[in-house]
Structures are given as structure tokens and as C-alpha cells.
Chains A and B, each alone.
Chain A
Amino acid sequence: MNLWYTEKHSPNVRFSLKVEEHLFTGKSDFQKIDILQTSEFGRVLTLDGLVMLTEKDEFIYHEMITHVALATNPSIKKVLVIGAGDGGTIRELTAYATIEQIDMVEIDEMVVDVCREYLPQTASKLADPRVNLYFEDGLKFVRRIENEYDLIIVDSTDPFGPGEGLFTKEFYGNCYKALTDDGILVNQHESPFYAEDALGMRKAHQKIVGFFPVCKVYQFHMPTYPSGHWLFGFASKKFDPTQDLDAASWNELNLKTKYYNTDIHVGSFALPNYVKEQLKDVE
């Protein structure tokens, strides 16, 4: 058998993974969900034919989307996670004993069910007693909330399809309102490299800059995402992610990480010139 999964990384670039077995395919009300067993990357979750995570490289994404904010403000207690049906972000958050409540809002319950069954590596901590699951539209959820969360993590799919609403100005504005005065917003921020992704990145930045006094972008290396060069946004009402980094306290926690450390934390905010220019253009 010679089975390959191929995804378009740009209209002119393709990326392929050798597949050993197609473990699951299904269609929810929102999207097509597939789990593949691949030779190189282990199990892979795809939504509407785009790789969301692989067992081999998900640690990079999930460590970077969580620890940067928690090392900047160790007193974060109440967290809202939007998207993240695979559970990887939740797994990282539950490592902090200081976090008291994690609300997770995922529009598609079927993603969670499938991940629970096929991806225990990421979904294992969804049963933590501090975690509350809400299956509804993220935009609708935050709309009703004011001054509640210390951290909101937007672990979204791309700015088209069911995740569309999570890249809008009304969503970021609603997040601002839902955050406390110490609040931090971390969001999946697309990539600066291929034109389509870069457009998503610039638009997201442009919309967030309007609301938050501190508005930064940081990078990480994601082998299975288009170009491998990916970004998260860090926006906050008060904290600066590098100046306010409390490296000593975070290191004292002795958390075991494979990618994140406090040096990477600082370094990830150093951006290449072409990225800086694109961001500056929309500020």
C-alpha cells in the first residue's frame, strides 16, 4: 500500500505525509473530521482536510500557546480557552496548580469526542475537575461576559470555515471586555510566509491593536504547518511579555517542557524584519 495524505500549503505548494491507516472519518454539523495514522508524525487530526495537529509536533504549539502568558503573569487563576477541541492546550494549563478554573468553549462536540477516542495524548486532561466544557459558538460565549478572565486563549482553526468568527473585530472587542484589568489574550495568529496566511496575520493584528495597549506577536517552529513558521499573538491590558517575564518563579515550578523555556520565551518575541514590516504596516 502506498497511501499519501496531501495538503495544499499554498496554491502552488503541497505537503505530503505517508499514511498507514485512515483511522476515522466523519462529518459533523460544522466540518469534516479525520484521524490518520502516519509513518512519521504518528496520529494526525485533520479538519476539512487541513492538519490541525500531529502527535509528533503538537507539543511545540501547545507549550507555546500557554506557558508564555503564565510565565508573564503567574497569578492567573481563571482561564477561558476557545477552540482547542483536541485538549492539548488544556493539558498544558492543568499543569499549573495555581489555576482554579478553566472554561473551554468548542463549537464542535464531535471534535472532542473523536480526540478523546483517538488522541489521548492531547485529550487526557479534559476530565480535570477544574475544566468546564461548553459546546457553543465562541463569539456567542464571550459576548455575554464582562471582567471575568485573567487569560483568554484563542486556539482557533483558520479565518475561514467554522473559526471565522474568531478572527473578527467584534470577537477581539468582546474578549477585551471579558478580561479583567490584568487580562491577557493569546491567539492563533497565522503565519507571515505564504500570501494567504500572511493576509490573515495582518488582519488579525490590525484588529487586535485597536483594543489592547500591549500588542505583541511571537513565533515558533511548527513542522506540519504551512512554511513551518507560525505565530501567536500576545495582547494585554497591562503586562509586557518580555519586561514582565518572571523567569525565576516559572523555573521554580519545575514544569517539564520539551520546547518552551524562559530563554525561548524572550527570544520568540524577536521577529524577522519582513514580519516586523508587515505588522507595522497595519498598526
Chain B
Amino acid sequence: MKGEYMTHHLQQRAPIMEALNQYKSMRVVPFDVPGHKRGRGNPELATFLGEQCLTMDVNSMKPLDNLCHPVSIIKEAEELAAQAFNAKHAFFMVNGTTSAVQAMIMTACKAGDKIIMPRNVHRSAINALILSGAVPVYVNPGVHSELGIPLGMSVKDVEQAILENTDAKAILINNPTYYGICSNLQALTDLAHRYNMLVLVDEAHGTHFYFGDNLPASAMSVGADMASVSMHKSGGSLTQSSFLLINNEVSEGYTRQIINLTQTTSGSYLLLSSLDISRRSLALNGKEIFRKVAEMAQYTRNEINKIGGYYAYSKELLNGDTIFDFDVTKLSVDTREVGLAGIEVYDILRDEYDIQIEFGDIGNILAYISVGDRHLDLERLVAALAEIKRRYSKDKSRIYIHEYISPQVAYTPQEAFYAPKQKLPISESAGYVSSEFVMCYPPGIPILAPGERITKEILDFIDYSKVKGCFLTGTEDSNIEHINVLKELME
């Protein structure tokens, strides 16, 4: 009880915010950057963003510490964050969870080291392989036979990958996937640890697991080694801010060196203070916040399922392995029975109903529910979905889902990315090895990654995604009509 009281007491502090307030009240004359000088030098920007915002946009200095080498208030804030997340240490990240995922992989792997991961990782993970030269060993995540969504990794498949690659340095796990699906994190962590592999967890969509009740297990709670936590998603901080958590034997100093390889030397205090304040809020009120979010998501799920046609899925999908757990705060909805692709529903919601959801893919939409939502907005979403069904529903046979396409990895992502290459019309590229990515954004999970052989099946899927209106990205050619392939294979 006493310990809990102490923790609660400490978590009421927000050292970065407090230091910024203190610094402001000292009315220090700024002869340092940023040159807008508390907004006075850029009145248009100050009017647009608000004066308070610009007065807090300051540079590293003694009273405000330095993100690259924290010794005072940032260090304290990091310690509080570590305590809140039950980690050995927490790093404040200002270049998105992308930078956290990359720091995890680059801390764990050098060039040539193997890392086991599901293929449905975010592009940031494969980008880290291009940067580091690490070699992926993909585990087929499998696709749900009815919903068409990629699932978690089965413990057996991971075990097989580990046995075939006992020299691998680490394994990367999504917790949860964009759709809310969790693998058996405890079992996978124990398994990897038995073979002395580090367990890295992409928790871009799992911040709330650390605070809410009855939510899936978090990385730190099962003893994983590193986790990337998108505070700016369900945690409420500003876009681009994130935490990197470490645990066990992972060295704080070495991880910091890796972070500093690519991190700015001018970390934004707007982002840092937003992390600090949001951490405090979650530590103090997270349980209640996520109880409400889960309740709103459940209400909306029930109402959407009453419309008919749509399927807002939840824990009934659990199968003990590839869907070991489900994050009930996620509102993922299968739309195919209405005869519309998820991406079509996504577009109609925005264009016709002024409702912006997180993403739509071929078979699903995902609406992000958070503490900022109001009941009346949930009613709008449900009503709009009912209307879309009434006005736009089509024959369901026009939407077909694709099986998981097992990648044929010919080269490591780094080799392929830097290899001599040749531009080809994408339609003529089957059989060649791609030097670049193709993906729909969102969700940003690569359809094709550098080093993978292009097949007719993949091209068909890309075509289908294009026709349905997915936003494709990744290639040098911004129109995705041409693709760079490896030259040596051209002859």
C-alpha cells in the first residue's frame, strides 16, 4: 500500500513541464535559438499556433537539460516514465515510433545479424534492416480465413524459425497488430529467451496495455527486453512523440548511443513536455480512461453489428495461438458483406459524411476510439455506416480477399536497396527482385520489401489495391507505375 502511495505521489510530478513553467517565469532574455524568440519574430505563426505554444518552443540549455545526454529534468522524467511502464529505463523519442523501432533493431543487431520477425511489420522495421544490414527471417503470420486480416505469429512457427536460426540475435513482435490482434507474448518471450535472443516489441498500438484493466499483456509485464510505445496514438501526447522502453540486460548507455546516431540534437520541448504530461495523466488516470475507451468501443461495436452486414469483431476470434488476445479498444470492422471494400467505406465516410477514420484496407476499416471521443460522435459513425449500407451496398462477390503471400527473399533489404538497379514498368516486373518497397499507406505494412522477388500474385494484389482506391507508396516513382529491380538479374 505504502509503495503504491509513493508511486502515485511521484507520478504526480511532470519535471519537464515544471521546468518549462519555471523557465518562462524567469523571463530570461533569449540570445539563443530558436530564432522566432518566443514567437515575437514570427507573429503569424504565434497567432496560428497560440502564443503559449511558441513560448514553450525553446532550446536545450542547463535548466532544461539535453535530450542527447540527459542529466537533470529529462533524466527525472525518463525515470518517472520507466516507473510508470515498469521498465528499467525509458527514452523520450522525438522522431516517432519509427525512431524507437529502428533503435531497438539497431541496438540488437549489427550488419549480418539475423532477426526473426513476422512479415506484417511496419515499414519502420524493414527500414531499420536497410540501415543496419541485419537479415530478416520472416515468420508467416497467416491470414484469417474469413476476415483477411494478418494475424499474430504462432508459437510453433516461431520455434521452428528459432531452431533453424539459432544464431539469430533477436525476435520482433507486434503487440498488438494495427487490427488489435496479439500473439502469445509471454510464450514467445520465454521461448526466445531460452535461446538467448532479445525480445523486441513494437507496441505502436499498445500504450494502453500498460494502464488499463483486462487488456492484453504488455511487453514489460512479460519480461521482454525492449518496446516501442507510441504515446501519440492511444497515450494522448503530440504527434511524433514516443517512448522506447528497455528492460533486463539491455544497456542504457549503448541504446542511447544508437539513438543518438540518428536523433536530432534539437529535441522539441513541445514533444518532450507532451510526453511528460501524458505519462502523468496515464499513470494517475489511465485505468479509468481506458475503461471508458473500452466501453465506448464495445458500445459502438454492438451498434455496428446490429446494422447487419458489417462485422465488428472482438474476442470471439481468439484461438489460443495466432489470435492469442484481442485489444477491445480497437474498433475494426469487416465490410465485405456490404459489398464494399474497407477503403471504399473509408473514402465515403470522409467525402460524404465528414468522418475521418484511421484506415481502410480491402476487407476492413479501423476507427480509432480514444478518450477524446464523445458519444454523439460515436452515434454519427454508426448512423453513417447504416446509411452507407442503405445507399451504397453492392454484391459481396466484388470484394475478394487475398491469401497471405509468402515473400521470396532473394537478398537482404540492405543489399537490395543499395544494389545497381534498373527501372521497369511495374506490370513487366514479375520474376525480378525488387529494390524498393510497395505498400498501402495506411497501414504501412509492405506488400513488397527490398530484396523480395516480384511475382504475378503480388502484382495482381497491387493492381487490385490500386483499383479499390488504396493509397500506394514506397517506390521512387511517386505514381507507382515503375519499380526499381536488381540489375544483375536482368540478363
Contact = CB atoms under 8 A, between A and B. Distances in A.
A171 B384 CA distance: 8
Given A137-B379, A140-B379, A169 B352 contact: yes
A173 interface: yes
Contacts of A174: 383, 386-387
A165 interface: yes
Contacts of B379: 137, 139-140, 143, 165
A9 B390 CA distance: 39
Given A165-B383, A171-B383, 8 more contacts: A137-B376, A139-B380, A143-B382, A143-B383, A168-B354, A169-B352, A169-B387, A170-B353
A170 B386 contact: yes
A170 B387 contact: yes
B2 interface: no
Interface in B343-393: 352-354, 375-376, 379-380, 382-384, 386-387, 390-391
Size category of the B interface is: 10 to 19
A200 interface: no
Contacts of B386: 143, 170, 174
B390 A165 contact: no
Closest A-B pairs by Cβ, 8 of them: A170-B383, A170-B384, A173-B387, A139-B379, A170-B387, A143-B383, A139-B383, A137-B379
Interface of A: 137, 139-140, 143, 162, 164-165, 168-171, 173-174, 177
Interface of B: 303, 352-354, 375-376, 379-380, 382-384, 386-387, 390-391
Contacts of A169: 352-354, 384, 387
28 contacts: A137-B375, A137-B376, A139-B379, A139-B380, A139-B383, A140-B303, A140-B382, A143-B379, A143-B382, A143-B386, A164-B376, A165-B376, A165-B379, A165-B380, A168-B353, A168-B354, A168-B384, A169-B352, A169-B353, A169-B354, A169-B384, A169-B387, A170-B380, A170-B384, A173-B387, A173-B390, A174-B383, A177-B390
A177 B389 CA distance: 12
A174 B379 CA distance: 12
B285 to A, nearest CB: 20
Contacts of A171: 383
Contacts of A164: 376
Contacts of A170: 353, 380, 383-384, 386-387
A139 B377 CA distance: 10
Contacts of B383: 139-140, 143, 165, 168, 170-171, 174
A70 to B, nearest CB: 28
A177 B376 CA distance: 20
Contact of B391 (A137, A162, A173): A173
B417 to A, nearest CB: 46
Contacts of B376: 137, 139, 162, 164-165
Nearest to B349: A170
B372 to A, nearest CB: 15
Contacts of A139: 376, 379-380, 383
A27 to B, nearest CB: 16
Nearest to B384: A170
Nearest to B375: A137
A169 B303 CA distance: 19
A218 B390 CA distance: 30
A54 to B, nearest CB: 27
Contacts of A165: 376, 379-380, 383
A173 B379 CA distance: 14
Nearest to A177: B390
Contacts of A173: 387, 390-391
Contacts of B387: 169-170, 173-174
A169 B381 CA distance: 11
A187 to B, nearest CB: 16
Contacts of B352: 169
Most buried by A among B303, B376, B384, B391: B376
A82 B382 CA distance: 18
Nearest to A173: B387
Contacts of A162: 376
Contacts of B391: 173
Nearest to A169: B353
Nearest to B376: A165
Contacts of B380: 139, 165, 168, 170
